């Protein structure tokens, strides 16, 4: 039973999770997984390249930072383009760029060529993540949106686990080039899956294309059970195309939200990549290569329950409380990891960082697109993640500069990360707004 004259928003928010949502989550999540696998693989590749190419710590930092520079540009451009041309074209195009560039990394013969290719990989990866999270967010029911986005982000952990397995099982035996080939080929399969994912009906309605939006809604409703709250888009509900401007991010009432998100994104990306891009190499200074990869694999596995715990809490405790608590506990883990000496201490506190930091990532990906109106949602999410990528550029490079020699200065570095986690947790408490259970339009004041 339907009620004419009601916008698409109510129909999307009232839908129960069904087959369409599962398909959307799977198609988006696999791309997310391969993205994560690539980011994880580079940390294992770098541990192998240090000896083969005789790299200085600062050069290792440059390789990591090149990818994050590409992610900065990709996130910024993809967000703007997705708000103009739609979520779906960017949803597919960024994955093409990532797949091709990752495969070409296997052919790199010098530091310069690898730097250029890592920039291109980052360009695709940086554009993929905010667009995918925006698309899933716009299709998700209000009451289950947090669960959907954190589950999407949980695919990141599967990608890192795959990277750790490849690093542990293949790189010591077949060399680092095989890692990039393994990372590129499966991602092409995701392109086939994504062809069946339609454009966001919220975007189509916002752009004054109600007939197309209605067609998408019929597809969504055909793949999930009906509820008494469902309503159809009336003929009188077509709106004039909305034009969002990037400058809106810095005007009332969005400026406070933009500042908060940019600071959180910078801090969490700086710390995460500063830690995990270097972890195999830092462990390699004390342990054999295979052992360092084994420890990294164990620490990485802690990401999975971290995501699921955040998925359980984000729609119960809310975004603000869950994010602030997980960042605070990440600070605790980093503080104690700085003095870890035995294998048991390294594994315990490394797992604490991995568990809570990745849970915080899941909540942040939920929170970010919620705080912006549809007309500039991808631009807002893309600009926040792009600013965060500056932290990804700076973090690994600073670690390289702070290490006078391999294995030295770890205590100081992790004390810095603990302080950053603590600061951004406080920013969430002071500046954050709760969005749990509200429609995207109500949060954004549309």
H-helix or E-strand spanning residue 175: none
Alpha-carbon span 170 to 213, nearest angstrom? 47
The pLDDT, as a whole number, for residue 356 is: 97
The pLDDT, as a whole number, for residue 265 is: 95
Q: Which residue has the tokens 């830690």?
A: 275
35 pLDDT higher than 50 = yes
Alpha-carbon span 320 to 331, nearest angstrom? 17
Q: Is 21 or 6 the better-scoring residue by pLDDT?
A: 21
Point out the least confidently predicted range of 62-76, 323-337, 425-439: 62-76
The pLDDT, as a whole number, for residue 333 is: 96
Domain ranges (residues) in the chain: 8-444
Each residue of 405-414: pLDDT tens digit? 544 467 888 9
Integer angstrom CA distances of residue 104 from 63, 109, 191:
15, 11, 18
The pLDDT, as a whole number, for residue 398 is: 82
* Tokens read off for 266: 């910078």
Per-residue confidence band for 256, with pLDDT thresholds at 50, 70 and 90: very high
Each residue of 192-236: pLDDT tens digit? 777 778 888 888 888 888 888 888 888 887 776 544 344 433 333
243 pLDDT higher than 70 = no
Q: Which range scores top for mean pLDDT: 151-165, 210-224, 315-329?
A: 315-329
88 pLDDT higher than 60 = yes
Point out the least confidently predicted range of 37-51, 89-103, 198-212, 261-275: 37-51
439 pLDDT higher than 50 = yes
Whole-model pTM: value is: 0.75
Contacts (Cβ under 8 Å, ≥6 apart) of 265:
364, 368, 384, 385, 387, 388, 391
CA dihedral sign of residues 288, 294, 297, 301:
negative
Alpha-carbon span 32 to 67, nearest angstrom? 16
The pLDDT, as a whole number, for residue 72 is: 86
The pLDDT, as a whole number, for residue 329 is: 97
Q: Is 395 or 118 the better-scoring residue by pLDDT?
A: 118
DSSP string, 42-77: HHHHHHHHHHHTT--HHHHHHHHHHHHHHHHHHHHH
Q: Is 183 or 27 the better-scoring residue by pLDDT?
A: 27
141 pLDDT higher than 80 = yes
Alpha-carbon span 94 to 82, nearest angstrom? 11
The pLDDT, as a whole number, for residue 235 is: 36
Contacts (Cβ under 8 Å, ≥6 apart) of 256:
431
Tell me the residue ranges of DSSP E strands in 311-418: none
Q: Is 355 or 397 the better-scoring residue by pLDDT?
A: 355
320 pLDDT higher than 90 = yes
Structural contact between residues 424 and 327, judged by C-beta atoms closer than 8 angstroms: yes
For the chain, give the mean pLDDT. 82
Q: Is 381 or 309 the better-scoring residue by pLDDT?
A: 309
Domain 8-444 has CATH 1.20.1250.20: yes
């Amino acid at each position: 039973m339907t009620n004419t004259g009601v916008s698409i928003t109510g129909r999307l928010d009232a839908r129960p999770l069904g087959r369409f949502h599962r398909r959307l989550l799977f198609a988006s999540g696999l791309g997310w997984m391969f993205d994560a696998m690539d980011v994880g693989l580079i940390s294992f590749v770098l541990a192998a390249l240090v000896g083969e190419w005789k790299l200085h710590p600062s050069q290792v930092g440059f390789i990591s930072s090149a990818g994050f520079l590409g992610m900065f540009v990709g996130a910024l451009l993809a967000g703007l383009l997705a708000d103009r041309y739609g979520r779906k074209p960017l949803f597919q195009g960024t994955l093409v760029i990532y797949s091709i560039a990752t495969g070409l990394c296997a052919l790199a013969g010098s530091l310069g060529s690898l730097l250029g290719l890592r920039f291109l990989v980052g360009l695709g990866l940086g554009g993929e993540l905010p667009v995918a999270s925006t698309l899933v967010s716009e299709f998700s029911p209000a009451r289950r949106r947090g669960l959907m986005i954190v589950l999407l982000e949980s695919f990141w952990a599967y990608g890192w686990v795959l990277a750790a397995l490849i690093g542990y099982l293949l790189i010591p035996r077949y060399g680092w080039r095989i890692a990039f080939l393994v990372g590129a080929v499966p991602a092409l399969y995701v392109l086939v899956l994504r062809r069946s994912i339609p454009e966001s009906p919220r975007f189509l309605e916002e752009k004054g294309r109600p007939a197309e939006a209605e067609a998408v809604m019929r597809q969504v409703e055909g793949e999930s059970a009906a509820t008494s709250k469902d309503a159809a888009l009336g003929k009188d509900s077509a709106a004039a195309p909305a034009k969002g401007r990037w400058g809106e991010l810095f005007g009332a009432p969005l400026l406070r939200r933009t500042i908060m998100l940019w600071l959180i994104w910078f801090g969490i990306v700086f710390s995460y990549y500063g830690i995990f891009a270097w972890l195999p190499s830092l462990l390699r200074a004390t342990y054999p290569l295979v052992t360092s990869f084994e420890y990294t694999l164990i620490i990485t596995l802690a990401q999975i329950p971290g995501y699921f715990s955040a998925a359980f809490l984000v729609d119960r405790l809310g975004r603000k409380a869950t994010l602030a608590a997980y960042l605070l506990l990440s600070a605790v883990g980093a503080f104690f990891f700085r003095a870890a000496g035995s294998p048991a201490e390294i594994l315990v506190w490394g797992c604490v960082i991995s568990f809570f930091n990745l849970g915080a990532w899941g909540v942040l990906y939920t929170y970010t697109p919620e705080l912006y109106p549809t007309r500039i949602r991808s631009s807002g999410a893309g600009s926040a993640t792009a600013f965060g990528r500056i932290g990804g550029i700076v973090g690994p490079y600073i670690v390289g500069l702070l290490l006078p020699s391999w294995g030295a200065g770890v205590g100081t570095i992790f004390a810095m990360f603990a302080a950053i986690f603590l600061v951004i947790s406080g920013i969430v408490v002071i500046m954050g707004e709760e969005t749990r259970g509200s429609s995207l339009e109500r949060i954004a004041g549309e």
